């Protein structure tokens, strides 16, 4: 089976290009330079209308940290409900407590607000004190279908052994390890083959000049798709 390819979109044009070039799913964000923040309802609706593939939307109110206060959470639950109303496939969300562990209570609230949408736990996961323990927590939530991780490193290419361990840990569960951060067109075939990953996530690696603020480069997306298909 071919590896699932998720591509970050920040505009309707990005979304169309990525979908046409072979992406299986989009992660819709704004503020790429800040690691991704919640996009506007208008953008969510327009992207959902523009493409046939699933659109997962990040819900992240600011980039200060992944530890949120009651006001942040109140905003996030409103945004989760708005994402559902806009017709998206899922939400991409993550939250930690002050001890650097997954905030289970808040995750439960997010799942309630999502009301059946797919849940991806984002790279807040990589800031937990113990990745294996954190994955155990997520495996206890059947609604969490993906965990986006770089294996705790700035680039997932430097964390192949950790990714293999996490994939093993999640094997046979409802949760897919979605490997992302630092993946490139040239490195993807070897990475996918060595880690046996089921899903990969591309941002800057499939943008013009490898620049996160540039548009999606359809040729790069197509090359990644072809490399993953050869690996299948």
* Residue in 70, 125, 75, 116 with CA at minimum distance from that of residue 95: 125
Query: What percent of the chain lies above the pLDDT cut of 70?
Result: 99
* Residue in 210, 171, 229, 202 with CA at minimum distance from that of residue 7: 202
* Residue in 73, 41, 80, 40 with CA at minimum distance from that of residue 59: 80
Q: Which pLDDT score is estimated for 211?
A: 93
Residue 161 pLDDT greater than 90, yes or no: yes
Residue 45 pLDDT greater than 80, yes or no: yes
Pairing of the two strands 118-121 and 25-28: unpaired
Q: Write out the two tokens for 84.
A: 């559902």
* Residue in 203, 208, 228 with CA at minimum distance from that of residue 219: 208
Residue 22 pLDDT greater than 80, yes or no: yes
**For the domain that residue 105 is a member of, what is the CATH number?**
3.20.20.380
Q: Which pLDDT score is estimated for 102?
A: 98
d(CA 67, CA 155): 23
Query: What percent of the chain lies above the pLDDT cut of 90?
Result: 98
d(CA 33, CA 35): 6
The domain total for the chain is 1
Residue 232 pLDDT greater than 90, yes or no: no
Across the chain, mean pLDDT equals: 97
Provide mean pLDDT across the span 34-45. Answer: 97
Q: Which pLDDT score is estimated for 231?
A: 76
Instruction: Write out pLDDT tens, residues 72-105.
Output: 999 999 999 999 999 999 999 999 999 999 999 9
The alpha carbon of 91 is separated from its chain's Cα centroid by a whole number of angstroms, namely: 9
* CB-based contact 194:160 (threshold 8 Å): yes
Q: Which domain holds residue 85?
A: 4-231
* Torsion-angle region of 17 (φ positive above 0: left; ψ -120 to 50: alpha; else: beta): alpha
Go through 119-142 and write b for each residue having 16 or more CB atoms within 10 A of its CB, e for each that does not: bbbbbbbbebeebeebbebbeebe
CB-based burial of residue 52 (10 Å sphere; 0-12 exposed, 13-18 middle, 19+ buried)?
A: exposed
């Amino acid at each position: 089976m071919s590896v699932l390819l998720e591509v970050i979109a920040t505009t309707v044009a990005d979304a169309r290009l990525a979908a046409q070039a072979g992406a299986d799913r989009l992660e819709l964000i704004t503020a790429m330079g800040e690691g991704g923040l919640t996009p506007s309802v208008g953008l969510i609706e327009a992207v959902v209308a523009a493409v046939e593939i699933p659109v997962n939307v990040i819900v992240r109110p600011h980039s200060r940290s992944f530890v949120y206060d009651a006001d942040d959470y109140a905003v996030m639950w409103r945004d989760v409900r708005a994402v559902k109303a806009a017709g998206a496939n899922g939400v991409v969300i993550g939250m930690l407590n002050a001890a650097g562990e997954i905030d289970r209570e808040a995750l439960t609230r997010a799942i309630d607000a999502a009301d059946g949408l797919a849940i991806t736990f984002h790279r807040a996961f990589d800031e937990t004190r113990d990745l294996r323990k954190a994955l155990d927590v997520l495996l206890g939530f059947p609604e969490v279908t993906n965990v986006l991780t770089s294996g705790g490193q700035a680039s997932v290419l430097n964390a192949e052994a950790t990714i293999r361990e996490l994939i093993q840990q999640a094997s046979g569960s409802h949760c897919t390890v979605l490997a992302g951060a630092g993946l490139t067109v040239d490195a993807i075939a070897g990475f996918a083959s060595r880690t046996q990953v089921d899903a990969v996530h591309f941002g800057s690696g499939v943008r013009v000049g490898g620049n996160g603020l540039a548009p999606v480069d359809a040729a790069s997306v197509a090359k990644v798709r072809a490399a993953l298909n050869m690996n299948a």
